[in-house]
Amino acid sequence: MTRVLAGPYCTQILGDLGAEVIKAEHPTRGDDTRVWGPPFAPYTEESGLEGPGEAAYFFAVNRNKKSVGLSFQHTQGVEVLHKLVAKCDILVENYIPGSLKKYAMDYDTLRAINPGLIYASITGYGQTGPYSQRAGYDVMVEAEFGLMHITGDRDGPPVKVGVAVTDLTTGLYTSNSIMAALLARAKTGRGQHIDIALSDCQTATLANIASSCLVSGKKDSGRWGTAHPSIVPYKSFKTKDGDILFGGGNDRLFGILCDGLGRPEWKTDPKFVVNAARVANRVELEAAIEAITTQRTTRDWLAAFEGSGLPYAAVNDVQGTLDHEHTRARGMVVEMDHPGCGPIRMVNTPVKFSDSRPSIRTPPPLLGQHTDEVLTDLLGYSAEDVAELKEKGAIS
C-alpha cells in the first residue's frame, strides 16, 4: 500500500531478497509514478494496450511484485485487504498518520486480525510530533532537515541531491527494520508497528556533519561542492574534455598525486607538506592542480594514475555509468521481458551472496495484472466473485 519511491523501494528490496510482494494500487490510476514521464517504454503492437506506455520511473522500483487493483474506499475492497492481511507477514503503507483508520486499515484494527503482522508506516514526519500531519515529499525534507544546506557549490545556492536520496535511505531503513522485526517475531510470536519518518532518516544520515555540530556546538561549514572541508586535495578538477576527481586523503596519497601531475616538489613545499597546511592553502593548491589537469583529457589522466594507489575517478553521466565496463562486469544492467512493452533494460539488485542468489524474477507489473490470480489462488475467491467485485468497482 505504498506509492512513489520510499515505500516501493523498500518493498522492491524485500522482493529482490525473495519475498512475495503484492502491491495494492488504486484500481484505475495505480501508483502515482505510472504517469510520471516521459520517458515511457512504449507498448508493443502485440500487447493490444493503448497509451504512451509504462513510465520509466515506475519501472525503477516495482520489479518482483504482483499488482492488485483495489479500492479501500470500497467496503468490499477493504474486505479483500483484510483477507490479505490475515495471510501476510508484512504490510507497508505511506499514508498520513491516522488517515487509514476510517477505512479500518490502521494498525490496531489489523493487529486484531493478524497479531503477527509487521505493519510499517512510512511518512514524511512520523506518527508523532508537530509536523506529523504534514504531507512530505523528499525535497521538502531535504530542505528542512539540513541536506540542501550542505549540498551545492561553495558560493552557490542550496540544491537538492540529483536523486531523491532521502526517500531511498528511508526505504533502506524500512527494509532493514522489517527484517529485524521478523527476527523479533520469531522469538516473541508478536508483530509490531514500525514508525519510519523521512525527516528522521534524513537527520540520521547527516552522519559526521551532524556529529561535528553536536560536538562543537557550532554551525556546519556550509556547502563544499565536490570538495571536503578538512581534506585537500579532495575534489573534482576540470580536464581538457570533462572532469576528474582526486582523493588525496593523506600525505602519502598526496605525494602520489604530485608525482603523477609532474610536480614532485610540492611534496616538500612547506605550504603543502601536511594536510593542515594544504587546507590553509586550499585555493592556491587547487588552482595549481587544475591548471595542470586542464592540459590533458580525462582518459589520459585515468591512464596516468592507473595502478598508482591513488583514489581517483572520472565524473561520468548516468548513461556513461550504465555503459561502464565495471557496471557490465558486475552484472548491474539486465534485460527482462515485459508483458506490455517487450524487452526492457533494468538496473539489477546490487547485492551478491556467496550461496543465495537475489534476482529479478518478474518485471514491473501492469496495473491489476495479478488481481485475478491473487484473489482466486491465494484468497479462495471464485471467478464469479472476482467478476462481481470488478463490476462494483472494488477491484480491477
357 pLDDT band, cuts 50/70/90, is: confident
> Across residues 330-352, what is the average pLDDT?
96
What is the distance between the alpha carbons of residues 34 and 50, in angstroms, rounded to a whole number?
14
Q: At what angle do helices 383-392 and 75-87 cross, to 10 degrees?
A: 140
Query: How far is residue 109 from each of residues 101, 191, 395, measured CA to CA in Å?
Result: 8, 13, 22
Is the pLDDT at 136 greater than 90? The verdict is no
Q: Beta strands 40-41 and 54-55: pairing type? A: antiparallel
> Across residues 284-293, what is the average pLDDT?
98
Residues whose CB falls within 8 Å of the CB of residue 126, separated by 6 or more in sequence, listed in order = 97, 132, 195, 196, 197, 199, 200
Average pLDDT, the chain: 96
Q: Beta strands 21-25 and 65-69: pairing type? A: parallel
State residue 324's pLDDT score.
Answer: 95
Which range, of 41-50, 98-107, 353-362, 373-382, averages the lowest pLDDT? 353-362
359 pLDDT band, cuts 50/70/90, is: confident
| Cell numbers 511518512: residue | 123
> Across residues 112-139, what is the average pLDDT?
95
Q: Which of 167, 195, 300, 377 is catalytic?
A: 167
Neighbours of 345 (CB within 10 A): 11
Which amino acid is located at 201 in the chain? C
Give the tens place of pLDDT for each residue, 22-33: 999 999 999 999
* 167 is annotated as an active-site residue: yes
What's the fold here for domain 6-205+329-392? Rossmann fold (3.40.50)
Neighbours of 373 (CB within 10 A): 13
State residue 206's pLDDT score.
Answer: 96
Neighbours of 84 (CB within 10 A): 20
Which 3 state secondary structure label does DSSP give 223?
coil
pTM for the whole thing? 0.92
CB 297 within 8 A of CB 241: yes
Is the pLDDT at 135 greater than 90? The verdict is no
Domain ranges of the chain: 6-205+329-392, 234-314
Task: Please determine whether the domains at 6-205+329-392 and 234-314 fall in the same fold group of CATH.
Answer: no
**What cell does 203 get?**
537527520
Torsion of CA 118, 123, 125, 129, to 10 degrees: -50
Considering only CA atoms, which of 62, 83, 372 is closest in space to residue 91?
83
Query: In the CATH scheme, what is the homologous superfamily, with its name and number, of domain 234-314?
Result: formyl-coa transferase, domain 3 (3.30.1540.10)
Q: Is the bond preceding 8 in cis, omega lying within 30 degrees of 0?
A: no
